[in-house]
Structure 1
């Protein structure tokens, strides 16, 4: 199963593509889609959509796992990040790919086994599970890979989390 994990963002959208067979992972690709704050929001969203569409066409994932938003302070930021998240979901939906969403708590539980795990713990587990030489940077990329790992570990329980 090929899984595309996404950590949504407007300035930095992290992505990670893993192949999961049995109990083993193979890292296919990971990185970040970066947009310029000086550009209009519509152009930034288009760039995210276009680059995700290329990734989807190249890797043809069986599932897209995306992190839910968690904001408690800045509503304006939450709205713009929500738009980027919506564009990511639309790109996958247009390719008829199953989409699953996970809360930050579920990602932590799916990767570390503890819902209150520290960011460093998650990053170390991502590095370990994927047999990487270093923790992927920026943090958004490691987070996206964590979402993909979470789906591999928990998404097999059926379509409980499916959008």
Structure 2
């Protein structure tokens, strides 16, 4: 990647929504903004969705990102919570599409894997890795902000190392066979 790219990262939520904006140029990543939108004071779910719309629109207008990287909802047991989370994610996606942004969605496991090397990493592990990689000065009040930063960074990493479907499988298979010669059937 030779030209500059600004990425908006969103960790969707209806109580707290995390957001981040990073600017990427060559091998350098700069955090332009990072924070949370607290929605717990609004009792009406539709008011919360409107506030999400307003915040995401404001971030897009302020930083003019080229892409939205958003975390996909994880599968939970509470169907009502999943429905509300999906709505929050949908509002952010519509804001991005309305502004002409490309949208890319990443699972929480994929984000953690990209940032820490461990798809099952905890929120504090993600924060510590982000702090190390981006020289962040202090721990944020809410991990929702660092989750959003991790999503944006995950997208940046995905752009840096595109995987070719035609060679990655063969290479991985060759490596597996080299490590496990006893699995080869003559």
- Shared fold, TM over 0.5: yes
CA distance in 2, matches of 1:112, 1:21: 22
Deviations 1:36-76 (A, max 9, x none): 35431111101110111011000000111000101321111
Tell me the CA shift for residue 110 of structure 1. Answer: 1.1
CA distance in 1, matches of 2:19, 2:50: 16
Of 131, 139, 147 in structure 2, the residue corresponding to residue 127 of structure 1 is 131
Larger Rg: 2
1:69-148 alignment runs, 5 A limit: 69-148=73-152
**Please, what is the CA RMSD of the aligned residues?**
1.6
Match of 1:40 in 2: 44
Higher RCO structure, 1 or 2 (CA under 8 Å, sep 6+): 1
In 2, are the aligned partners of 1:25 and 1:129 still within 8 Å (CA)? no
State how many pairs are aligned: 159
1:140-159 alignment runs, 5 A limit: 140-156=144-160, 157=162
Match of 1:8 in 2: 12
* 1:18 and 2:26 correspond: no
Output the TM-score relative to the length of structure 1: 0.91
CA distance in 1, matches of 2:134, 2:141: 14
CA distance in 2, matches of 1:40, 1:75: 18
User: Hey, which bits of structure 1, 4+ residues long, moved more than 6 A?
Assistant: none
* 1:64 and 2:68 correspond: yes
Which deviates more from structure 2 when the two are superposed, residues 47-56 or residues 148-157?
Answer: 148-157
